[in-house]
Structure 1
Amino acid sequence: MKSHPAFASATAPYLLAGLFVWFSLLPASGFAQAAPGGPFSLVGTLPQAMKGKVYLIDQQDKVFVSAPISGNTFLLKGNLREPGLYKIRLNAEPNMYFIFVSPAVTKVKINQDKTLQVEGPALHRQWAAYNSGIEKFKDTLIDLSMKRRVALQQGDSLRFRELMRRNDSVSVAVYRFIEGSMVRKPYTFLNLFLLEQGRSDEFIAGMLDELRPQFSAYPTFQQLDSSLKEKAARLERFGVGKEAYNFTLHDSASAVYSLESIRKSKKLVLLDFWASWCGPCISEIPALQKLQAQYADRGLQIVGISTDVNPRLWKTALNRHKPAGMQLIVDRDNPAVIKNYAIYSIPQTFLIGPDGKILALDLRGEALAKKVAELLEH
C-alpha cells in the first residue's frame, strides 16, 4: 500500500511520524514473542489540586478508561490488548496529551505549561522522538501554505508554482521518511504500529514476515495479515484476465462517464487511482503526461480517478498539476469503485482492453511505460 488516504491537506497528511533517534531509546531485547497485552497503570501528577475526572481516549476518540482526580494526582488503570497511542484529557478541557501506552506501570506528570513528562516503558519515548521529527515537516508545510496564500493574493503565479513544487517535494520526503522508519532496526511495536499507515502489498507482506517472530500474536499484526489475505482473495476474483468493474463517475464539470463508454472507443484504458494529498501520486504525473503525449493517437486513454474526500482540493490539484487524460472523482455516497477495484492504497493503476478485461495492474514508472508500449506497438 503506497499512500494511505489520510493526508487530506497540506498540513494534515502523514502526521503520525517523526525522528529516528532510536538508538538511545530502544531496549536490549531478543526476538522472543512477548504477550501483546496485559494490565497497565498510569500514575499521574498534576501541577495543582483540582476536582473532576481524567479520561484516557483511544484513537477513535472514545473513552477507554476514566478515573477520579484526587487532589493533584490520578490513577488510570485497565487492560490492553496491545500497546497503542492514546490521549489523556482532564475533565472537559480542550487540551489533550498524547501518550503511547504499554502494559506496564507508567508515571506521567502534566506540567504548568501544558507539557507532558512520561517515565516508563521505552515505546512512548520512541514514539515521542519519532513524532517530534514529523512535526518539523508539518511546520515546513504550514509555512509553505502561508507563503502560497500570500503569493495568490499578490497574483504572483511564478512564486506560487515554485512553492507548490517545494510542497510536493516535502510531501514525497515525508512518505520516504515514514517508510524508512518502518524498516528501522531493532524492531519494536512501533514498526508494526506505523505499518497501519499503508504501503505496497509487497512491502507490507515483507515487513510482516520480518516482524512475525516477535509480533504475530498482536491484534495489529493479525489485522494487517488478514487484510492482505482478503485483498489477495479479492484480486484473485478481480485480477488480470478478469472483467473490469464498469463504474460511472463524474468529472470536475459534473459530466458523467462510464468505463464502458470510454473503453469502447479506445484500444487501451489506463486507470490511475490517485489523490491531491498523495506525494507519490503527484510524482507519477510527469510519467503519465509523457505516456499520454506518446500514445494518445494510438488509442491510449488515461482516466485519473481521485479518491479525495474534498472535491475542492481535487479541483485545486487539477489546476495545479494538470494531470494527463480524463479526470474523475469517486462518489463518496457510493464508493463501490474503491471496493470493486480493491483500492487499499494509492497510487494504483489498471490497464484495460477494449473488451473490458484487465490486462495489467499496479504498474508504475518504467514498468508501466514498457507494458503500454507492448500493448499498443505490437
Structure 2
Amino acid sequence: MNTIKFKILGFCICLLMFSNNSQAQKKSVASSSSYSFEATIKGIEEGMTVKLIPGATHSSDPAVAETTVKNGKFSFAGNVTEPRLFYLVFGKNQGFISVMFENSKMNLTSNAELGTDENKRIAFKNTVFTGSKSDAYFKKETAYRDDLDKAYAAYHTKESDEVSKLIGQARKDKETKKLDSLQNLPVWKKFEADEKAFFTNVEKSMTDLIIRHKDSWWGAFFMMSQFSYLTPEQKPLFDQLSETAKNSYYGKLADAEVNPKSLVGTNVAAFNLKDKDGKSVSIKDIAKGKEYILIDFWASWCAPCRKEIPNLKKAYEEFATKGFEIVSISTDDNQKAWNTAMTKENMLWPNLLDNDVVSKSFNVKTIPATFLMDKNGTIIATDLRGEALDAKLKELLKS
C-alpha cells in the first residue's frame, strides 16, 4: 500500500476551547485554568492575519481563531484541558511557527524576513517562546530528529543521487537490462543498505519515544505528532498505551485511526469532482442506470495502483454491459502527471481529480483503495482487487 502523498513527519495540534474575540482576549487573565499568549515580531507586515490551525489531528482542519498584527504584536487567550500544539499561520500560508500551549502566561518574540519570491514566504529567525514547560519538553524529546536529518543527508551522496536518476529513467523506459545493471552497482547496493538501516532507526526512535510516555497523554500525542498518519498496522503500538493515554484528546484521535469503523453498509454522500477538462461531474449522474459502481482511489505515482489498472480494464470489459461502472479518483497534486498517466493507461471510465475532501470522507489513508457501492449508494464491499473483484462481480451480476 502506498501513501497518498509523501509528507515529512508533522508537528501540529488543536485547541479545545478558544476565544476569538479580540476584546475578550485582552481582558482575559491567565490563571491555573486559562492562558494568555502575547507575541512581538519585528519586521512583520502591519495588519497581517494570524490564524491558529489545529494539527496532530491528521486532518486539514480550519482555523479555530484568527487575529491581526498591530504594531508588530498580537495576542490570544483561552484555556486548554491538556497542553496542545498548533500552528500560528501568517498571511496566506506565507509562514508558520509551531508552539505548544498550556494554561499559563506565554510570550513569543521573533524576527520576520519577507521573501521576494512569488508567494512572499516569511522566514522567522531568533524565535524565543517562553512560559510553556510543555513546549520546552516537546522540543527536548524530539531533538532526535536533528540527528536523523543529518543521517539522512549523509547517505544521500552525489553519486547515489545520480544513479537514482538513471534507475528512474531506465524504469520509465522499461530498459530491463540497464535497470538490473544499475541496481547491481556497489554504490546502489550500499545506498539500499544504508536506507534500510536509516528507516529502521527512524521507526525505533519514534517507537521508543512513544513507549517511554505510554502512561500519559504524551504517549498518544507523540503517536499523532510523529506519524503523518496511522493505520491498523499501528494498533499493536497503540494497545501498549495506558487507559489514561487512550482516553486523552490525542488518544481518541489515534484510536479512530488504528481502529477505523468499516464503511460497509453506509451510504456514499453526494459529491462533485472535476474531470481533466475542469468540468464538474456528479457521482449521482455517473451512477444513473448502473447497478454497481466501483470507486477507485489512485495516483499517477502509485506503482501498485498502476499495476491494478489491467485488472480494472478486464472487469470493465466483462461487466460494463451488465450495469457495472468504475469511477477512478486521482489524489495527484500534479494535474499534468495525472493527465499523462490517464492518456498512457487509456482508462475508458470516468476519471476525476480529488479535492482532498472526498478522499477524507472515505477515510482513505493509503492507495490503491476501492469501494464498491450499489445503485442505492450503499457501500457493500471495500478493497476489492484482482480476482477478488472479479469473483464479487460474478456473484452480484449472475444474470
User: TM-score w.r.t. structure 1 length?
Assistant: 0.52
Mark the CA change 1:75 to 1:197 in structure 2 (over 3 Å): closer, same or farther: closer
CA displacement at 1:208 relative to structure 2: 2.4
Aligned to 1:363: 384
| 8 A Cα contact 1:102 1:123, kept in partner | no
| Equivalent residues, number | 268
In 2: Cα distance, 1:253 partner to 1:311 partner: 11
Correspondent of 2:317 among 289, 293, 296: 293
**1:277-298 Cα distance to aligned partner (Å, 9 max, x none):** 3344334333323322333333
**1:153-181 Cα distance to aligned partner (Å, 9 max, x none):** xxxxxx85427997xx99xx9xx969974
Compute the RMSD of aligned alpha carbons: 5.1
Aligned positions of 1:61-140 closer than 5 A: 61-62=96-97, 79=133, 81=135, 102-103=140-141, 124-125=146-147, 128-129=150-151
CA displacement at 1:132 relative to structure 2: 5.1
| 8 A Cα contact 2:371 2:382, kept in partner | yes
Correspondent of 2:367 among 337, 346, 356: 346
| 8 A Cα contact 1:240 1:358, kept in partner | yes
| 8 A Cα contact 1:274 1:304, kept in partner | yes
In 1: Cα distance, 2:269 partner to 2:338 partner: 23
| 8 A Cα contact 1:350 1:360, kept in partner | yes
Amino acid at match of 1:349: T
Aligned positions of 1:310-329 closer than 5 A: 310-323=334-347, 325-329=349-353
CA displacement at 1:305 relative to structure 2: 0.5
In 1: Cα distance, 2:2 partner to 2:251 partner: 15
Correspondent of 2:208 among 182, 188, 205: 188
CA displacement at 1:272 relative to structure 2: 0.5
In 1: Cα distance, 2:127 partner to 2:267 partner: 58
Gaps of 5+ in 2: 10-86, 90-94, 100-107, 112-125, 212-222
Aligned to 2:241: 212
In 1: Cα distance, 2:127 partner to 2:281 partner: 58
CA displacement at 1:351 relative to structure 2: 0.3
Amino acid at match of 2:335: P
**Greater RCO (Cα-Cα under 8 Å, separation 6 or more):** 1
Is 1:229 the counterpart of 2:256? The answer is yes
CA displacement at 1:328 relative to structure 2: 0.9
Identity %: 26
Amino acid at match of 1:129: A
CA displacement at 1:229 relative to structure 2: 1.7
CA displacement at 1:184 relative to structure 2: 5.7
Amino acid at match of 2:174: E
Gaps of 5+ in 1: 8-13, 17-56, 69-73, 85-100, 105-120, 149-158
**1:77-133 Cα distance to aligned partner (Å, 9 max, x none):** 97555887xxxxxxxxxxxxxxxx5349xxxxxxxxxxxxxxxx7665456436656
In 1: Cα distance, 2:244 partner to 2:155 partner: 28
Aligned to 2:19: none
In 2: Cα distance, 1:354 partner to 1:345 partner: 26
